[in-house]
Structure 1
Amino acid sequence: MGAISLYAKASPDFAQKLAHSLELLKSSAATYSPLTQASSLGAEDMVVTHLLQEAGIDCSIFVLDTGMLHAETLALVGRIEERYQRKVDIYRPVESAASAFVQTNGPDAMYKSLELRKACCHIRKMEPLERALAGKNGWLTGLRREQSSARAEVHDIEQQAERVKVNPLADWTWGDVWHYISLNAIPYNPLHDQFFPSIGCAPCTRAVTLGEDFRSGRWWWEQESAKECGLHVAADGTHEAQEPAAFEPLSSIIPIREIPA
Structure 2
Amino acid sequence: MTVNIEQLQSELVSKNPRFILKKALSLYDNIAVSFSGAEDVILIDMALSIRKDIQVFTLDTGRLHPETYRFIEKVRKHYQIDIELLTPNWEVLDGFVKRKGLFSFYEDGHQECCGIRKVEPLKRKLTQLDAWITGQRRDQSAETRQDIPEVQVDNAFSRPDHELVKFNPLLNWKSAQVWDYIEANQVPYNELHNKGYISIGCEPCTRPVLPNQHERAGRWWWEESTQKECGLHVSAIK
Residue from 80, 85, 93 that aligns with 1:98: 93
1:31 corresponds in structure 2 to: 27
SS at match of 1:151: coil
Is the aligned partner of 1:87 residue 2:87?
Answer: no
1:103-128: per-residue Cα shift (whole Å, max 9, x none)? 111111010112xx211101100110
* Pair 1:112-2:112 in alignment: no
> Would you say the 8 A contact 1:110–1:120 is kept in 2?
yes
Unmatched segments (≥5 aa) in structure 2:
1-12
Return the TM-score normalized by structure 2. Answer: 0.87
- Is the 1:52–1:58 contact (alpha carbons within 8 Å) kept by the matching residues of 2? no
Gaps of 5+ in 1: 1-16, 239-261
Aligned ranges 1:105-254 → 2 under 5 Å: 105-114=100-109, 117-149=110-142, 150-160=144-154, 161=158, 162-234=163-235, 237-238=237-238
Q: Is the 8 A contact 1:37 1:60 kept in 2?
A: yes
What is the CA-CA distance between 1:18 and the residue it aligns to? 11
Q: Supply the RMSD in Å over aligned alpha carbons.
A: 1.8
Aligned to 1:249: none
Aligned: 1:69 with 2:78: no
Letter of the 2:47 partner, please give it. L
Return the alpha-carbon distance in structure 1 between the equivalents of residues 86 and 235 of structure 2.
22
Deviation digits for residues 183-234 of structure 1 (CA, Å, limit 9, x no counterpart): 1111100101111110000010000112211100000000111111001123
Say if 1:140 and 1:166, in contact at 8 Å, map to a contact too: yes
In structure 1, the residue corresponding to 2:128 is in which secondary structure? coil
How many residue pairs are counted as aligned between the two chains? 218
Q: % of aligned pairs identical?
A: 39
2:111, 2:230 within 8 Å by CA — same for their partners in 1?
A: yes
Q: Distance in 1 between matches of 2:225 and 2:66?
A: 27
Q: How far apart in 1 are the matches of 2:139 and 2:72?
A: 26
CA separation in 1, counterparts of 2:202 and 2:70?
Answer: 14
